[in-house]
A and B are shown apart, each in its own frame.
Chain A
Amino acid sequence: MIGFILADLRRLWAGAAVVILLVALATALGVTVTLQERALRLGSARAADKFDLVVGAAGSETQLVLSSVFLQPAPLPLASGDVLAKLSADPRVAWAAPIGFGDSFSGYPLVGTTRTLIASMVDGFAEGRIFEKEGEAVLGAAVRLPLGAEIKPMHGTAETGGETHAGVVYRVTGRLKPTGTPWDRAILVPIQAVWHIHGLGHHEDHDDEDHHDEHHTDSDHEHHGIDIDAPIVEDFAANAPGIPAILVKPKSIADAYRLRQAYRGGNTVAVFPAEVLTNLYATLGDAKLVLSAVAAGSQALVAAALILVTVTHVGQRRRQIGALRAFGAPRFAVFAIAWFELFLMVAVGVLFGFLIGLVAARWIADIFTVQSGIVLPVGFGKEDLRTLLLLLSTAALLSAVPAVLAYRQSPAKALRS
């Protein structure tokens, strides 16, 4: 029977190939959407894993997380320097580190922060060492610059009409190990250097500067220098400059909730990034619903095409099926041939669809990783096996329709057709 089916498929290989391709593409569309959406959830959750609590000036919680965890460039209101000092002195806090951004170099964001934060977030250095002077910088794992390279920071980005900070040069001293987060694409520099470049921290009266916006125009942005050999000071006093975000490491979970409560109101906002991401996932879920609907629509079109193919399939084989019965093939054998031939094509299409879907999702994930730094873990899980079995079961049922038609038709009528 298998030999007969394979011979028949070889004979009608072009039609069989079209059926397999249609099923494969329809399946791949759904698989890609599912895998990509899941990978995005996992990847973003992992990226936020080490960000226990983020504190910033009152404003959008989502933007605070997107800017601090995912380094998405956006103007953020600045939290007062005394917030950082208070947090650093809080007994519930293991450590608190400022995060300052807004500058870039060669398309990579420059992030001003502390050595404590770097040591906590990354499992060490792939090469070199951490910065020890104001004029030193370390690279995220995905930054394509060599050790010893000179970095001339630009305020904002080239795309948004940014301007290079005249006379400011950092020297690269180390490269971090990969984290699978957007921070792999970042150049990390001492926060005090960021403050000094922007004319902060040198002065006692910085309270009038309450917004840090990378879209400054030339007229409202002053250039200041740094002392490249100055030692790094990471004790933050109450008169520290304003900062876009503070990453806080609470000593316990209970402390985390208390701190969030304490800094959630007035001029500050405190967020658990995981909580904000959950809200984002809800939006993502809606997007998945739309994508799934589009995928389902295209699959319905393919299903309609398959019905046409099935009708043609039975039509082409009516005489063949009639002849088989006329020459003594049992009806069950005729049913099995008609069923298995169609099921084989659909099943091969579904399996190819899963393979194509996986390859497509990985390809998209790779592009996303290059652009964002977030590693998206694309892979099949148990739920995909369930989907595969469901699809194959449906294919088995649908394939029985032409088989039943073939089974029921009189051999004399089939031979006359």
Chain B
Amino acid sequence: MTLPETMLSLEVSDLSVSFAGLTSPVLAIGHLTIAAGERVAVTGGSGSGKSTFINMITGLDRAGTGSIRWNGSDITRLSETARDRWRAGHVGLVMQDFHLFPGLSAVDNVLLPARLARVADSAMIDRAHQLLSSVGLVRPGQKIETMSRGEMQRVAIARALLRQPGVIIADEPTASLDSSSGEAVATLLLDMAAAAKSTLIVVSHDPSLIGRLDRRLTLSAGRITADTAAKEQTR
């Protein structure tokens, strides 16, 4: 099993993303850096550009100008196939809707991307079982559709951590959960990211989750309107 050895730093420069029919860009960031190992919350109202920000920094979309450098490598210059390969090796994604695959068991869901990329060796299968155990799931063979939403998000976190990514990017990981499940998932996400020594970027409206992160970026109309450290948040 080959795993990335370093956590990732991000540097965004002169990023501008526009959609057809709109007069102003949906995302415009002059300069932004996130240090390796940093834990950052991204907040903002609906339509503020949070999803576009996530899509751009993960390479899911390439619709703008400017540069997005992870550890110095500009992913905007990569082809779509190369970005898929880069994302598979470096990014752990956790999404609000989980995007798990019904009909498959928890462990099969965790291993699916690795299997499709033909990197799921026995060590990785062992790690998948360990991760599921770590997130508190004792039945790795349980079908996804028979699980609670809280359990599903735990499986999603395990999947994101499988290849020990340099950065974990979570999009509203607690939004569809009740408060106790949300709290548990938030704790798990932070602990697991710390254990994996991954940079963590979380889009969230959940104040308790935001409050536990190092830094908070606030987006409005596609611009970063506030960039505050944890100490300043609590002040």
A: which residues have CB within 8 A of B?
1, 3-4, 7-8, 10-11, 319-320, 323-331, 333-334, 337, 410-413, 415-416
Given contacts A329-B116, A333-B117, contact A7 B84 (CB under 8 A): no
Given contacts A410-B61, A412-B60, A412-B61, contact A328 B113 (CB under 8 A): yes
By secondary structure, the A interface counts as helix
Q: Is the CB of B99 within 8 A of A1?
A: no
Which residues from chain B contact A8 at a C-beta distance below 8 Å? 101, 103
Minimum CB–CB distance for B194 against chain A, Å = 22
Given contacts A1-B116, A3-B108, A4-B112, contact A330 B103 (CB under 8 A): no
How many residue-residue contacts, CB under 8 A, span A and B? 84
Tell me the chain B residues, 98-112 only, with Cβ under 8 Å from chain A: 99, 101-104, 108, 112
Given contacts A3-B108, A330-B117, A412-B60, contact A325 B101 (CB under 8 A): no
Minimum CB–CB distance for B206 against chain A, Å = 21
13 contacts between A and B (CB under 8 A): A1-B116, A11-B102, A320-B101, A326-B60, A326-B87, A327-B99, A328-B114, A329-B117, A331-B80, A411-B60, A411-B61, A412-B61, A416-B51
- Which of A7, A330, A412 is B116 in contact with, Cβ under 8 Å? A330
- Which of B61, B88, B99 is A328 in contact with, Cβ under 8 Å? B88
Which residues from chain B contact A413 at a C-beta distance below 8 Å? 61
Q: Is the CB of A326 within 8 A of B93?
A: yes
Tell me the chain B residues, 41-97 only, with Cβ under 8 Å from chain A: 51, 55, 58, 60-62, 80-81, 84-85, 87-89, 91, 93, 95
Closest partner residue, chain A, to B55 (CB atom): A412
Cβ of B31 < 8 Å from any Cβ of A? no
Q: 5 other contacts beyond A10-B103, A319-B99, A326-B99, with CB at 8 A cut-off?
A: A4-B112, A7-B104, A11-B102, A329-B84, A330-B116
- Which of A1, A10, A331 is B81 in contact with, Cβ under 8 Å? A331
Which residues from chain A contact B85 at a C-beta distance below 8 Å? 330
Closest partner residue, chain A, to B159 (CB atom): A327
Q: Is the CB of B84 within 8 A of A4?
A: no
Given contacts A1-B115, A329-B113, contact A7 B102 (CB under 8 A): yes
B residues contacting the other copy or chain, number (CB 8 A): 30
Measured in the bound complex, the distance between the Cα atoms of B55 and A334 in whole Å is: 19
Measured in the bound complex, the distance between the Cα atoms of B108 and A415 in whole Å is: 21
Measured in the bound complex, the distance between the Cα atoms of B85 and A324 in whole Å is: 12
Measured in the bound complex, the distance between the Cα atoms of B58 and A325 in whole Å is: 12
Measured in the bound complex, the distance between the Cα atoms of B66 and A262 in whole Å is: 98
Minimum CB–CB distance for A404 against chain B, Å = 14
Measured in the bound complex, the distance between the Cα atoms of B95 and A161 in whole Å is: 84
Q: Is the CB of B61 within 8 A of A327?
A: no
Q: Is the CB of B108 within 8 A of A330?
A: no
Minimum CB–CB distance for B176 against chain A, Å = 15
Which residues from chain B contact A327 at a C-beta distance below 8 Å? 88, 93, 99, 112-113, 159
Given contacts A3-B108, A410-B61, A411-B60, contact A328 B101 (CB under 8 A): no
Q: Is the CB of B103 within 8 A of A328?
A: no
- Which of B80, B102, B116 is A333 in contact with, Cβ under 8 Å? B116
Minimum CB–CB distance for A2 against chain B, Å = 11
Q: Is the CB of B113 within 8 A of A324?
A: yes
Measured in the bound complex, the distance between the Cα atoms of B60 and A413 in whole Å is: 9
Measured in the bound complex, the distance between the Cα atoms of B113 and A334 in whole Å is: 10
Minimum CB–CB distance for B88 against chain A, Å = 3
From A320, A328, A329, A334, name the one whose CB has the most chain B CB atoms within 10 angstroms.
A328
Which residues from chain A contact B102 at a C-beta distance below 8 Å? 7, 11
Measured in the bound complex, the distance between the Cα atoms of B85 and A327 in whole Å is: 10
B: which residues have CB within 8 A of A?
51, 55, 58, 60-62, 80-81, 84-85, 87-89, 91, 93, 95, 99, 101-104, 108, 112-117, 159, 163
Given contacts A331-B81, A410-B60, A412-B60, contact A4 B104 (CB under 8 A): yes
Closest partner residue, chain B, to A1 (CB atom): B116
Which residues from chain A contact B87 at a C-beta distance below 8 Å? 326, 328
A-B complex: 6 closest residue pairs judged by Cβ atoms: A328-B88, A7-B103, A323-B99, A412-B61, A333-B116, A329-B116
Which residues from chain B contact A416 at a C-beta distance below 8 Å? 51
Closest partner residue, chain B, to A328 (CB atom): B88
Which residues from chain B contact A334 at a C-beta distance below 8 Å? 116
Which residues from chain B contact A410 at a C-beta distance below 8 Å? 60-62, 80
Q: Is the CB of B60 within 8 A of A330?
A: no
Q: Is the CB of B104 within 8 A of A3?
A: yes
Which residues from chain A contact B112 at a C-beta distance below 8 Å? 4, 324, 327, 329
Q: Is the CB of A330 within 8 A of B61?
A: no
Measured in the bound complex, the distance between the Cα atoms of B125 and A14 in whole Å is: 33
Measured in the bound complex, the distance between the Cα atoms of B62 and A413 in whole Å is: 11
Which residues from chain A contact B81 at a C-beta distance below 8 Å? 330-331
Measured in the bound complex, the distance between the Cα atoms of B218 and A104 in whole Å is: 100
Q: Is the CB of B116 within 8 A of A415?
A: no
Measured in the bound complex, the distance between the Cα atoms of B93 and A383 in whole Å is: 53
Closest partner residue, chain A, to B119 (CB atom): A328
Minimum CB–CB distance for A347 against chain B, Å = 21
Which residues from chain B contact A326 at a C-beta distance below 8 Å? 58, 60, 87, 93, 95, 99
Q: Is the CB of A325 within 8 A of B99?
A: no
Measured in the bound complex, the distance between the Cα atoms of B117 and A334 in whole Å is: 10
Measured in the bound complex, the distance between the Cα atoms of B56 and A14 in whole Å is: 38
Minimum CB–CB distance for B177 against chain A, Å = 19
Q: Is the CB of B84 within 8 A of A328?
A: yes
Measured in the bound complex, the distance between the Cα atoms of B107 and A3 in whole Å is: 13
- Which of B55, B84, B163 is A330 in contact with, Cβ under 8 Å? B84
Q: Is the CB of A11 within 8 A of B60?
A: no
Q: Is the CB of A328 within 8 A of B104?
A: no
Which residues from chain B contact A324 at a C-beta distance below 8 Å? 112-113, 116
Measured in the bound complex, the distance between the Cα atoms of B97 and A319 in whole Å is: 11
Which residues from chain B contact A337 at a C-beta distance below 8 Å? 116
